[in-house]
């Protein structure tokens, strides 16, 4: 159990276009999902915390109008990178938390590699 | 502020034991997680500690000392497939936030 999927696995797009990434918890309900970004050989950086039915909480320095997050159901959260630019090229990873306690484990999706030309 | 310190790289021999240390400073500490991440893949959960002491899970064990802000991951009977990055992630800085360090890249050789 505790499988999280992401779609697409990789995407290449032109500068100025928008890209949507889906994160799904396949066999459990996730009240909270998280979105991370990871540049090569660097640590995972939390972008935002997404709670079902409410607005996402963004980390300092993350533009909420550029990275749109929607958590429409207990099994699906989406991240839309609007007007993508080459500096947005990165590995985007979501995680889903099973349970509502602070110690409930986060299970990660396989990640989406975004390349903006 | 938040700070996590792990060695950048380690090497070890197949069949051996390796200990990966992690020191951390974070506000509102609630526990510490260890994840494994192979190159180009997402992290996978290994273990977590809430209380001081050792937690053992098969070939992997994790230790925590809250007063010292210190944890380690112990890997026994190393296998080639254990070559990966190991991420120390305290839970703190706010509700449910995992704070990741840069990780330790472990290379296991024959």
Facing A102 at nearest CB: one of B96, B102, B103: B96
Asked if B95 reaches chain A (Cβ–Cβ under 8 Å), the answer is yes
Using CB atoms within 10 Å of the CB of residue B51, give its burial: 0 to 12 exposed, 13 to 18 middle, 19+ buried: exposed
Residue located via tokens 């120390």: B88
Name the percent of chain A lying above pLDDT 90.
Answer: 68
A37 has a chain B CB within 8 A of its CB: no
Give me the residues paired with residue B14 across strands: none
DSSP string, A62-90: --TTTEEEEEEETTEEEEEE-S--GGG-E
Report yes or no: A60 at the B interface, CB cutoff 8 Å: no
pLDDT for A67? 96
Q: What is the mean pLDDT of chain A?
A: 90
- B17, B9, B67, B56: which is closest to B34 by C-alpha? B56
- Closest CB to A105: pick one of B30, B45, B103: B45
Q: Is B92 on the interface with A (CB under 8 A)?
A: no
pLDDT of B54 strictly over 90 = yes
């Amino acid at each position: 159990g505790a499988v999280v999927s992401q779609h697409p696995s990789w995407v290449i797009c032109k500068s100025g276009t928008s890209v949507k990434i889906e994160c799904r918890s396949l066999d459990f309900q996730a009240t909270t999902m998280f979105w991370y970004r990871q540049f090569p050989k660097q640590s995972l950086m939390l972008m935002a915390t997404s709670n079902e039915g409410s607005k996402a909480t963004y980390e300092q320095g993350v533009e909420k109008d550029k990275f749109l997050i929607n958590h429409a159901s207990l099994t699906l959260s989406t991240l839309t990178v609007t007007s993508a630019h080459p500096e947005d090229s990165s590995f985007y990873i979501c995680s889903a938390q099973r349970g509502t306690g602070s110690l409930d484990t986060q299970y990660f999706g396989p990640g989406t590699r975004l390349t903006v030309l | 502020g938040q700070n996590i310190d792990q060695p950048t790289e380690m090497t070890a021999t197949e069949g051996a034991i390796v200990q990966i240390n992690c020191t951390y400073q974070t506000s509102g500490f609630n526990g510490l997680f260890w994840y494994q991440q192979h190159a180009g893949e997402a992290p996978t959960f290994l273990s977590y500690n809430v209380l001081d002491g050792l937690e053992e899970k098969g070939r992997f064990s994790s230790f925590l000392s809250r007063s010292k802000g210190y944890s380690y991951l112990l890997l026994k009977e190393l296998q080639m497939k254990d070559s990966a990055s190991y991420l120390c992630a305290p839970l703190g800085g706010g509700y449910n936030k995992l704070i990741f360090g840069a990780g330790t890249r472990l290379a296991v050789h024959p």
